Structure 1
C-alpha cells in the first residue's frame, strides 16, 4: 500500500532530481516510524562514476535516502513545513553491510528516537530483500528555508 507517492513526497521535501532519493512511502506511524522505498535503476546519475563496470550505490547516498525518509516523518508534523529545510546535524554509528546495485528495491526504515521542535534523532536501516545494506543514527536539524 502506498501512503505517499512521489507527488506527495515532492510536496513535503525540498529535495529534487537528481538528489531526491525516495520514491514512495509505504508505512507510517506518526511521530514514531516510517518506511520508504527507493527503486534503484541503472539510470541513476551516480552509477556513471561509481563504479564503471561494477555499479554500486554509494553508502553515503543510502544514508541520505534514510535521512530524507526521516525528514518526511518529521516535516509532516510541522505547521508551515514548506518554509522548513532539513539539514544533517550528525551521523553516528554508520555501518555498510552489502552492496546495493541496479534492480534492487531499497527499503528505508526510520524510527524516531527523539523529536523536538528543531532537532530530531532517528535510527535508520536500509535493506534489500531483508538483508541490511546500511544503518546509522541520524541527527536532523530543521531550519528556515531561504526566501527566493
Structure 2
C-alpha cells in the first residue's frame, strides 16, 4: 500500500502521518517503510547541526505500521491509541537519508486491547524494538 491507500484506514495526516508504505508479509506480519528526508518538523531542534530522529517518533512509526492489522476497525472509525509500551529499547541512531523498515507481529488481541511486538531497523540493524499496547477507541461524537 502506498500513502494514499494508508490514508484510507489510518486517521493520521501530515505531518504526523509518518508511514509511507504498509503491507502484510507472507507470514501475516505488518511491515512498513519511512524514508527520513531531513526536512521533518521533529528534526528542527533534535539536534541542531546533527539531526537524529527521536525515539518516540520511531515508536509512532511502529504503531502506525500495526494499523494494517486492525484496518477493519479503523475503517469503521475507531482510533488506535497508545495504551503502553514494555521493554522498549533504542539501539541505533536514525538520521536523514536513512530508510526505516518496520515490522509488527500481533501477540494478543482482547476486546479493545491489542498487544504487539514491533521493531524498526535501518540497513538490517535494529534501531528500536519493544512490546506495544494499543487501545481501539471509538471517536466521541
User: TM tier, shorter chain?
Assistant: over 0.9
Structure 1 partner of 2:15: 18
Query: Normalization by structure 2: what TM-score?
Result: 0.93
Query: Normalization by structure 1: what TM-score?
Result: 0.89
Task: Give the total of aligned pairs.
Answer: 141
SS in 2 for 1:8: helix
Structure 1: which 4+ aligned runs deviate by more than 4 Å? none
Gaps of 5+ in 2: none
- Structure 1 residues 26 and 143: CA distance shift in structure 2, 3 A: closer
Query: Pairwise CA RMSD of aligned residues?
Result: 1.6
Counterparts of residues 26-105 of structure 1 (less than 5 Å): 26-28=23-25, 32-74=28-70, 76-78=71-73, 81-105=75-99
Gaps of 5+ in 1: none
The offset of 1:29, in angstroms, is 5.2
Cα contact 2:94–2:127 (8 A) shared by 1: yes
Cα contact 2:103–2:120 (8 A) shared by 1: yes
